[in-house]
Amino acid sequence: MPTPVMHLALAEEILCGGDLAPAVRRALAQQRGPFLLGHTAPDIQTISRQGREETHFYTIPRTSDRPAYEALFAAHPRLARAEALPPAQAAFMAGYIAHLLLDVVWLEDIFLRYFMMQEWGPLGERLFLHNVLRTWVDARDQQRLNGDVAAALSEVEPWGWLPFVGDEHLRTWRDWLVQQLGPARSVETAQVFARRMGVPAAEVEEILASPQQMEERIFCHVPQTVLQSFHDVGYERSVALISWYVGKYAHS
C-alpha cells in the first residue's frame, strides 16, 4: 500500500491546501507533528511486530465492506470522540484514520484492479513490479515534502495515544522516520522492498532509472492517469474524513 512518504506528502498537501475549513486547518496546523506522525503510524507493525490487521483494522483480501476507521472506533470507542481527546492525540488520530482510508483506496483502485485482477504476467513478477511502482511514487513524493517534516516529527511525544500500540514503539517509529527524512538523507524505500522480496536492490533501482523499462513493464499496464485519479480520490476522501473527525474538536 502507500509508503510512509506517500502518506506524508498527502498530509502536507491537505494542510497547505484550501479545502479544510479554517478552524479545522488551524487546529491541525497547531498540531502538525502529531498529524504527520498519525498519517504514517498504522505501518508501525514493522516495528511492533504485530499482525497487519491489528494496526490497519481490515484484512487483505477484504472480508468486509466496513470502512477500516469504523472498525477501529468500534474496537476503541474512546478514540472516536476527537473532542474528548487532548489536541495532539486528536490530530494524531485524524492522520491515523486518513492513512487507513488511503490504504484501502490504493488496495482497491491500484493493487487489486491492476496487479491482481489482470494477468499480464506471472504473479511473482506483478508483485515485484507493484513494489517498484510504489518506490517510484515514493521517490516522486519525496520531492514534494516540506524540508522541516523531520523537525516537526522529532518534537512529537506520544503519551498513551493508541491502546493497541505501546508508546515505545511509536517513539522508535518516529525516530526511524526522522532519521530517514533528515537533512542530506534519503528514504531507503528500494532497499526496504528489495529485502522483503529477497532480491538485490539494484534490480529495483535499474528499472526506476530507466523510463523505457518503467513504460514497458509498468505504465503500459497501469497508466499514469490512474495514479493521478488515485491521488485525486484519496485527497478528496481524506479531506472529507478529516473534516468530519476534527470538526467537532476544532469547534468545541
Q: What's the pLDDT score for residue 37? A: 98
Q: What's the pLDDT score for residue 233? A: 98
Q: Contact at 8 Å (CB) between 65 and 108?
A: no
What is the amino acid identity at position 86?
P
Q: What's the pLDDT score for residue 23? A: 94
Indicate yes or no: pTM above 0.85. Answer: yes
Q: Contact at 8 Å (CB) between 154 and 178?
A: yes
Report which listed range, 43-57, 173-187, 229-243, is most confident. 229-243
pLDDT beyond 80 at 60: yes
Q: What's the pLDDT score for residue 62? A: 86
Q: Contact at 8 Å (CB) between 142 and 187?
A: yes
The per-residue pLDDT of the chain, averaged, comes to: 94
**Closest by Cα among 154, 166, 146, 138 to 227:** 138
Residue carrying the nine cell digits 498540531? 31
Q: What is the DSSP letter of 85?
A: S
pLDDT beyond 70 at 94: yes
d(CA 170, CA 44): 7
pLDDT tens digits, one per residue of 188-244: 888 888 888 899 999 999 999 999 999 999 999 999 999 999 999 999 999 999 999
pLDDT tens digits, one per residue of 119-172: 999 999 999 999 999 999 999 999 888 779 999 999 999 999 999 999 999 999
What is the amino acid identity at position 121?
G
Q: What's the pLDDT score for residue 196? A: 86
pLDDT beyond 60 at 252: no
Q: What's the pLDDT score for residue 1? A: 86
pLDDT beyond 70 at 184: no
Q: What's the pLDDT score for residue 136? A: 96
